[in-house]
Amino acid sequence: MQAVVLVGGEGTRLRPLTYALPKPMAPLLGRPFIGWIIERLRVSGVDDVILSCCYLPDAIEAHFGNGRAHGVRLHYVHEDDPLGTAGAIRNAVHHIDGTIFVCNGDILTALDLRAQLAMHRERGAIATLHTRPVDDPSQFGVVETGAGGRVRRFIEKPKRGETTAHDINAGTYVLEPAAVESIPTGRSVSIERETFPLLIETTHRVYARSTNDYWIDVGRPETYRQAHRDILDRRYASPLGVEVAPRVWSADGAPLPADINVRGPAYIGAAVRLGAGVTLEPYSVVYDGCSIANEATIGDSILWPGCDVGERGTVKGAILGLDVAVEPKARVPVGAVLGRGERVSART
């Protein structure tokens, strides 16, 4: 079984973090974000994965290579210019052989892919979408369905009273080769606005499967933080590494120093240096190679690799990108999202 994962976006909603690192490579408790998607595909019987790349693709390929170490075969398809959600699939057609899964590279979900495929085959569908109900669909693309889950139409950001449907497109599809072949070449094409409406009209074989499985779009700072919280709380999965204390995970299994205060859940990367009197409050995530000096405090924050927090520095409710430095006694503003190499000075 094959899958195409759409990872070509520039990650604009996660800037400035994604100026230095493509969104699929954003760390997430033991794996790059896209690693969780690849693993979900692998355990669902997918052995051949096509990554549709555009922005900073070398970082993805350098980490994952041919995929062998991750239990799959990986192929990389590059776009010189963004081709849209359908155009990116069509661009991979020379690698596609049969029915495929398509996954939006922003989405972390516990969807049962085998069940999705089974419904697709039972209905004789040309395309089967995953949908999920939301209380307020006015900010989403709504999928209106009829008997047996057959899709009637898509409604983009419906106005009050325009539809009674509350299911939104959740970004995971099963497609037949004919669906892929229907996508025009050589230009940007939206699967939601062009391909699916065309298939609905011409084939009447587009279906939707609605579930309440865990699902989150990790493309914004607040949802990226929430994904960390959900994994630390084991709502989606467990962090990778060794649980060295109750709800405290270490990437390399290093024991906690006796002279620090850690209140889980928390995650400590490999080769992290923790000074005397450091406090790690709940939902602290300190990635590989960070240095936290004496009596510094981290709380409900994510520190990407190489960050340096000076003595008695404070980081709460923030995301620090690669190699950010916090000077001694400095306090990072709550809600801050800092890009690579930024420096936070102490107030005088």
Residues β-bridged to residue 210: 131
Helix (H, G, I), strand (E, B) or coil at 185: coil
Task: Give the DSSP letter string of 9-70.
Answer: ---GGGTTGGGTS-GGG-EETTEEHHHHHHHHHHHTT--EEEEEE-SSHHHHHHHHTTSGGG
Is residue 8 pLDDT above 80, yes or no? no
pLDDT for the residue numbered 53: 84
Among 122, 311, 319, smallest CA distance to 227 is for 319
Rounded mean pLDDT, 149-157? 86
Among 169, 174, 191, smallest CA distance to 182 is for 191
Q: What is the pLDDT of residues 173-206, one digit of tens each?
A: 999 999 999 999 988 999 988 999 999 999 999 9
> Please, which pLDDT band fits residue 137 given cuts at 50, 70 and 90?
confident
What is the rounded CA–CA span in Å between residue 79 and residue 315?
38
**Does domain 2-217 correspond to CATH entry 3.90.550.10?**
yes
Rounded mean pLDDT, 31-51? 94
Mean pLDDT is lowest, of 1-10, 235-244, 271-280, for 1-10
Q: Where in the chain is the domain with CATH 2.160.10.10?
A: 241-344
> Please, which pLDDT band fits residue 134 given cuts at 50, 70 and 90?
confident
pLDDT for the residue numbered 18: 84
Q: What is the pLDDT of residues 210-241, one digit of tens each?
A: 999 999 999 899 999 999 999 999 999 899 99
Q: Which CATH number fits the domain 241-344, given the four candidates 3.30.360.10, 3.30.1340.10, 2.60.120.330, 2.160.10.10?
A: 2.160.10.10
pLDDT for the residue numbered 347: 73
Mean pLDDT is lowest, of 91-100, 130-139, 160-169, 181-190, for 160-169
Is residue 332 pLDDT above 70, yes or no? yes
> Please, which pLDDT band fits residue 130 given cuts at 50, 70 and 90?
very high
Is residue 326 pLDDT above 60, yes or no? yes
Is residue 2 pLDDT above 90, yes or no? yes
pLDDT for the residue numbered 11: 64
DSSP 150: B
pLDDT for the residue numbered 348: 41
Is residue 77 pLDDT above 60, yes or no? yes
pLDDT for the residue numbered 327: 96
Question: Taking a C-beta distance cutoff of 8 angstroms, is the pair 122, 114 a contact?
Answer: no
Is residue 291 pLDDT above 90, yes or no? yes
Q: Report which residue type is found at 45.
A: G
What is the rounded CA–CA span in Å between residue 105 and residue 172?
10
Residues ≥6 apart with Cβ < 8 Å to 201: none
- Report the residue count for the chain: 348
pLDDT for the residue numbered 262: 95
pLDDT for the residue numbered 54: 73
Rounded mean pLDDT, 15-37? 90
Question: Taking a C-beta distance cutoff of 8 angstroms, is the pair 14, 58 a contact?
Answer: no
Q: Where in the chain is the domain with CATH 3.90.550.10?
A: 2-217
190: left (phi over 0), alpha (psi -120 to 50) or beta: beta
Tokens (6 digits) for 32:
């790059």
Question: Taking a C-beta distance cutoff of 8 angstroms, is the pair 278, 292 a contact?
Answer: yes
Is residue 159 pLDDT above 80, yes or no? no
Q: Whole-prediction pTM value?
A: 0.92
Tokens (6 digits) for 248:
């405290």
User: How much of the chain, in percent, has pLDDT values that exceed 90?
Assistant: 72
pLDDT for the residue numbered 20: 83
Q: What is the mean pLDDT of the chain?
A: 91
